[in-house]
Amino acid sequence: MVSKVKPIALVTRRMPSAVLAPLYTACDVDLHDHRGSLSHVDLCARLVGKHGLICMFNDRIDEVALSAGDKLRVISTVAVGVDNIDVAAAKDRGIIVTNTPNILAGATAELTWALLLAVMRRIGEGDRLIRNRNWTGWAFDFLLGTELRGKQLGIIGAGRIGQAVAAIAPAFGMRAVYAARLGQSEGKVASALPVLSLDELLLTSDVVSVHVPLTADTRHLINRRTLVRMKRSAFLINTSRGGVVDDTALAWALDQRLIAGVGLDVFEDEPQVHSDLIARENVCLTPHLGSATRETRTAMAELAVRNVLEVLEGRSALTPVVLDG
């Protein structure tokens, strides 16, 4: 009796062995068992002959990669955003692309609020002061921050993460509002909260929090033109994608004191960070930790594995990416 030939799957990053166990049962697995990413050249080389791919948000799956992986049937990214994948080109080749939605909204919302609190209450500054042994004692007007209660939180992007962030606002006494997406009228956003134009949100909000995917329309959505519309007392938080904010424009706005402070979890040129942002005390930086909880990362990895297995075993993907239009 001839044994069935197993499909071959490439996994581009170290993942929990228990999560990968079902994949090893059904497939021959090529695992890049490291925390660091593959170079694009190495990624393309290892895609040759692979039927399934589990990748991360920073693995570039372009025409070159798709040509190398000419046997691919499914690309499963352990992320919500798919800006690193040429989804249209994959579709043209008959490759199913999947992502991991409906999982990381809570964890990312938590980190958004952590950054918001850290920059508004100057927690990072205080921590550094103590660690550097420069604290000389309590003073009445020392490291005064900004209170959240009574302030307006402007949320750009009313998807799952934006909604999860908004749901926490009442606990801090903040009033949340949304901005309509580019090209979308205010009336088309289903929300119990006020929906403003982007300009109105920028002009009136005390905190602006960004939660949109990175697309051609949203790249550098936050730029010099939009930053000058913000209150000088306002704070900017970005836990979406680095390219949504023009880091050079942001550094300029901080230098001109056009805004009060910034909390960033993502950057234009990760893992490189604009030197002017690193140098500023009123900027709180985290290394892309939005979904970085044990619970969320495990659930994301499990869904990514299940998507690969569903497609390779002839069933429909659980969470396929559908192109707009």
- DSSP for 48-64 reads TT-SEEEE-TTS-B-HH
Q: How many CB atoms lie within 10 A of CB 196?
A: 20
Q: How far apart are CA 208 and CA 205, in angstroms?
A: 6
Pick the catalytic residue from 13, 274, 288, 297: 288
- pLDDT score of 183: 44
Pick the catalytic residue from 241, 274, 297, 306: 241
Q: How far apart are CA 164 and CA 158, in angstroms?
A: 9
- pLDDT score of 185: 42
Element spanning 276, H or E: helix 275-279
- pLDDT score of 3: 61
**Paired tokens of 135:** 């604290």
- pLDDT score of 181: 59
Q: How far apart are CA 283 and CA 273, in angstroms?
A: 12
Quick check: 96 and 74 in contact, CB under 8 A? Answer: yes
Q: How many CB atoms lie within 10 A of CB 293?
A: 16
pLDDT beneath 70: ranges in the chain: 1-3, 181-191, 325
- pLDDT score of 325: 53
Measure CA 235 to chain center: 19
**Paired tokens of 295:** 């619970």
Pick the catalytic residue from 125, 186, 270, 280: 270
Strands in 152-156's sheet, in edge-to-edge order, are 195-196, 175-179, 152-156, 207-210, 235-238, 261-264, 283-285
What domains can be seen in the chain, in order of their start residue? Answer: 8-102+294-312 (3.40.50.720), 105-285 (3.40.50.720)
**Paired tokens of 64:** 């070159």
- pLDDT score of 234: 98
- pLDDT score of 182: 46
First and final C-alpha spacing in the chain? 48
Q: How far apart are CA 10 and CA 28, in angstroms?
A: 9
Q: How many CB atoms lie within 10 A of CB 267?
A: 20
DSSP state of 39: P
Cα 264-107-167 angle, rounded to 5 deg: 90
Mean pLDDT of the chain: 94
Q: Check if 200 is active-site.
A: no
Q: Check if 288 is active-site.
A: yes
Q: Check if 232 is active-site.
A: no
User: Mind listing the pLDDT tens digit for each residue in 1-35?
Assistant: 456 789 999 999 999 999 999 999 999 999 999 98
Q: How far apart are CA 318 and CA 303, in angstroms?
A: 8
Q: How many CB atoms lie within 10 A of CB 272?
A: 9
* Predicted structure pTM score: 0.90
Which candidate, 61, 111, 52, 53, places its Cα nearest to that of 81?
A: 61
Measure CA 177 to chain center: 21
